[in-house]
Amino acid sequence: MKAQLRHMLRDDDVNHQEQKQILQLGMRFREDRFYRRPLDGPQAVAVLFDKPSTRTRSSFSIGVAELGGYPLVIDKSGSQLGRGEPIADTTCVLTRMASAIVWRTFGQDRIEEMARHSSVPVINALTDQFHPCQVLADFLTIAQWRGGVDALKGMTISYVGDGANNMANSYLLAGATAGMDVRIAGPNGFLPDERIVRDARRIAADNGGDITVTTDPRAAVSGSDCVFTDTWVSMGEESEYAIRSKPFWDYQVNDGLMGLAKPDALFQHCLPAYRGKEVTSSVIDGPRSVVWDEAENRLHAQKALMTWLVGCQRGDESLLA
């Protein structure tokens, strides 16, 4: 295998087979948290946060340590990036010291600029446009509950709520890559960017999947294998909740809406969740909810992704399976 620098900036940075490899690695890490230790040394991974975090911070910090490495966690207030240093300059410094860079930031353009200047893998830990690490964990959760990674192809997944946010974008691209039937439902004015929908449809056509974007939550959820939602108000918009939430009440995931999905359909939420708003307590705390497995799987999926990216860079096929 030839060494190749790879990044994970958006969900379609990997193809169908590569996504399967990462998820299969994630299943191995679920079975044995120390299945691979590619960062033994230890090697450092820089983990940068421009936004608050619980699950991302915990899962990457613990994950890097369990891979044998050292997580160098830097908040915005502790970085010169927060004081206006050019992204290129920060990147050039970090690549001299770290084996990979993980960044939770704002615009997608920021992490793409970092990747252009990096000689080590760069991982998108969330931007305003995409959240690929979360969706890898979500798909790993489906695989956990439905008999393995091969079960993903041909499944129907439904996302209801704010269809214009990063989660909806990532479900479109990652679901298309997996060969799923992806349905996104949101109110007018809160539907995915048509450019991302076009990309998803192109990818889905190659992998036997399908893409539906609709304003009808009932049609989106009908017969679904897994139902997803997310908060209606993104970070930084909490003061606008009363106004922002008005278009979304018909998209609340409650017992009635879940009743349209398959009887054994799973419910997932990337968290934090607001019970009584985007999801009712009866659903998120009910028997079909797998949100705690989903949260745990951030650890296993991200360890798998880091291992896979390091394997690509080293040309080490043993780290890809």
**Furthest-apart CA pair in the chain: how many Å?**
54
Return the structure tokens found at 15. 């193809």
Q: How many residues does the chain have?
A: 321
Question: Residue holding tokens 């340590």?
Answer: 65
Q: What pTM value is reported for the model? A: 0.96
Residues belonging to the active site:
104, 131, 134, 230, 270, 298
* 132-294 matches 11-130+298-320 in CATH topology: yes
Topology of domain 11-130+298-320 in CATH is: Rossmann fold (3.40.50)
In whole angstroms, what is the distance from residue 61 CA to residue 53 CA? 12
Question: Residue holding tokens 């911070």?
Answer: 57
Count of helix runs (H) and strand runs (E) in the chain? 12, 9
Residue 279 in 3-state DSSP?
strand
How many other C-beta atoms lie within 10 A of the C-beta of residue 189? 9
Residue 96's pLDDT is 97
- The superfamily in CATH containing domain 132-294 is Aspartate/ornithine carbamoyltransferase (3.40.50.1370)
Residue 240 has pLDDT above 80, yes or no: no
Confidence of residue 246 (pLDDT cuts 50, 70, 90): confident
Q: Locate the domains of the chain by residue range.
A: 11-130+298-320, 132-294
Residue 33 in 3-state DSSP?
coil
276: Cβ–Cβ under 8 A, 6 or more apart, which residues?
A: none
Residue 239's pLDDT is 59
Contact 179, 204 (CB under 8 A): yes
Q: What is the pLDDT of residues 295-308, one digit of tens each?
A: 999 999 999 999 99
Q: What is the pLDDT of residues 142-182, one digit of tens each?
A: 999 999 999 999 999 999 999 999 999 999 999 999 999 99
Across the beta sheet with 226-229, the strand order is 210-214, 181-185, 156-160, 226-229, 266-269
Contact 273, 279 (CB under 8 A): yes
